[in-house]
Amino acid sequence: AQSVTQPDIHITVSEGASLELRCNYSYGATPYLFWYVQSPGQGLQLLLKYFSGDTLVQGIKGFEAEFKRSQSSFNLRKPSVHWSDAAEYFCAVGPNTGFQKLVFGTGTRLLVSP
Amino acid sequence: DTEVTQTPKHLVMGMTNKKSLKCEQHMGHRAMYWYKQKAKKPPELMFVYSYEKLSINESVPSRFSPECPNSSLLNLHLHALQPEDSALYLCASSQDSLRGNQPQHFGDGTRLSIL
């Protein structure tokens, strides 16, 4: 069965500092991987996705993520955080065949300090 | 701006009421989803419609009744809900429920409170 682990419940980063949010997955093959962001009172917005090919993927809002098969990880990064990035971030895994049921991690809440 | 529109944004109802949540998308997607999200938790899948047919029901209580009138619309009919059903209800759509390289797009949700 697929599973996703986001080990950090909360992370606080100073504005302008770099950010890395961790995501580890468990899946028998290479899954489809996603990062979503949820601002308070909003739905989930897709930041980026990985299906195959280049292991470094670029997303919206200056985010990027790197797929590392050997570590079963798909960590999200941003070189300089803005106050508006404060939100909940969810990593999700989907199978590469069959019905696309997303398995979400428990989320990481990002706080941005001045 | 989200491409998946949900109404209403907020809904307060009593346990004996009947109400409906609505979701609309105009991206030509053929798969639509209902999720339930409790505070500080990830979304939990409830139902999936694929080509206007219910394909997945994640053992959701019958007091929740989904309906897909056409490929752009998805409803969730509510009746005799319990206080524990208070949550954010999210609608999502994707090109096809069997193609993982077509990600799901979410609406902003309906915040439901059961009195």
Nearest residue to A35 (alpha-carbon basis) of A58, A52, A13, A14: A58
A107 Cβ under 8 Å from any chain B Cβ:
yes
Which of B112, B76, B88 lies closest to A41 in space, CA to CA?
B88
Q: Which residues lie below 8 Å from residue A84, measured CB to CB, with a gap of 6+? A: none
B104 chain-A contacts, CB cut-off 8 A: 46, 100, 102
For the stretch B81-93, pLDDT in tens is 999 999 999 999 9
Q: Do A41 and B101 touch (CB under 8 A)?
A: no
Kind and range of the H or E run holding B100: none
Q: Which tens digits make up the pLDDT trace of A4-55?
A: 999 999 999 999 999 999 999 988 777 899 999 999 888 999 999 998 888 9
Write out pLDDT tens, residues A79-106. Answer: 999 999 999 999 999 877 777 788 999 9
Q: Which two tokens stand for residue A5?
A: 């682990």
- CB-nearest to A94 from B2, B41, B100 is B100
